[in-house]
Amino acid sequence: MAEREHYLFWKLTNYFVIELDYRLVHIDREEKEVWLETVGHKKVDVIRILVEDIDWANWLKRDIIQTGVRAEGIRKHLMKRELNVLNIYVTEHTPVDDYEFVIQHPYDAENGRAHIQTVLIAKETLDDTICRMNEMLNSHFQIQTVDIYDPAITYELRQSAIQKTKRRQREERELFEYGKPFFTYLFIVVQVLMFLIVESSGGSTNIETLIKYGAKYNPLILAGEWWRFFTPIFLHIGLLHLLMNTLALYYLGMAVEKIFGRFRFLWIYLFSGFTGSVASFVFTNNLSAGASGAIFGCFGALLYMGVVNPRLFFRTIGVNVIAVIIINLIFGFTVPGIDNAGHIGGLIGGFLATGIVHFPGKRKWGLQFVSLLAAASAVYFMLNWGYHNDRPDTENARAQGQIENGEYGAAYETLLGLVSEGKGDADSYFKLAYTEAQLQKYEDAKKHFNRAIELEPDFHEAHFNLALIYYEQGDIEEAKKHASRAEEISDQEKYRDFFKKIE
């Protein structure tokens, strides 16, 4: 291959890398072929340049087909619906046979989503081809032909393109290694310690113990215990829950803390945990705990990276991150007992929290302000909805306070009005039945305990209280049935002791 063709090869590569900000993603060992992708160009996503002596149109056709196969692989990797590729051949002369029909129209890969436009730069076609290429790229590439091409100039063009590529690669590596993890380890230690404390104080699956140590429990949040938006982040229900979230925190937390730095990670993690708890407070009445909302916030932080720098994101971690999020959400929607509202709330919170602080050493004030406004508005709206909407939790909390003060008659009136309007949930019926039992309205109590079980089959407290009523009424078989069911759902000492007593 003549020096002229090598010069043209590197002149083109240098222009695309330096002037049009394409990224050199592949160069073969013989330095005859390069692939470049854009970070912002609209018309052409990928450019492939090959320097080769092309003698026959059939060879050209086969190579274009092979280029289409590779382009389709790139399209799938980048998760793009369409991919436009400019395929440039640098050759001394045009093929000896009729070749124009091969490159006259764009070639579409097998599924029609990768589009290959081909140009051929040869002595006979140089000016026309450069003009056509500039139209495709909306560029202004120019070249002056000379009789003698200096290898030193070609080498300088090569070095310039490669050095910029190396600088960009170094900057990308530094992006993933900005901070050294600290808070990831701290949060792991804290949640393991809290698990051991809760286990030693009554068990991590014991409802009363979880409430005591700060689980998300709507009636107490409505009663003023706002800190329950934060404390559930560090509690876990059972060993498997702890192990899964600790493993997820280790890998995700490490990645996010390395990318965004320690204090940005601290903000993202805690804000995500808070928004996850708020979403759970608004959309679910069940008691909940766990770091899942904060962990999904780490996913949100990585998705923010994908929005701001999609090329780097999809070239590195993007496909895996999106796949894991989708799998987790599907799992959450199909498996009962998972707080999907908390997961989604944490995901959105993590995205917005990252938008507020952006990347270390960089500023996008407009985007940061929009993220701050969106986060503040979302939190205000959700809290206002959660505290003031027409939901049974509010009346349940009011009745709970009356019960704790021994005002069973007032609690009875509060709850009877709620269920009469058709607004009661399982907890409403349970509390109503409890007050009726205290007021010796046993038949009504049994009816409403059973209604609570209909709405929430695993309501072990309702089963236990039914067992107590049946035992007092002398119906030992029914008492055994409900006591056994309570023990089966929640292996608590008081359930075991009562069942042994009536056997």
Task: Give the catalytic positions in this structure.
Answer: 292, 343
- Phi, psi angles (nearest 5°) of residue 164: -65, -40
> If we measure between CA atoms, which residue out of 164, 180, 184 comes closest to residue 172?
164
Is 397 in contact with 386 (CB distance < 8 Å)? no
Distance of CA 135 to the CA centre of its chain: 40
Rounded Cα distance between 312 and 153, Å, is 32
Q: Edge-to-edge strand order for the sheet containing 33-38?
A: 22-27, 33-38, 46-51, 83-90, 114-121, 107-108
Half-sphere exposure of 416 (CA within 13 A, CB side): 11
Rounded Cα distance between 34 and 444, Å, is 81
> If we measure between CA atoms, which residue out of 469, 399, 421 comes closest to residue 441?
469
Residues whose CB falls within 8 Å of the CB of residue 363, separated by 6 or more in sequence, listed in order: none
**Three-state SS at 288:** strand
Burial of 412 (0-12, 13-18, 19+ CB in 10 A): buried
- Tell me how far CA of residue 201 lies from CA of 216, 235, 491, in angstroms: 18, 13, 15
> If we measure between CA atoms, which residue out of 343, 303, 304 comes closest to residue 321?
303
> If DSSP states are collapsed to H, E and C, what string results for 76-101?
HHHCCCCEEEEEEEECCCCCCCCCHH
Strands 83-90 and 46-51: parallel
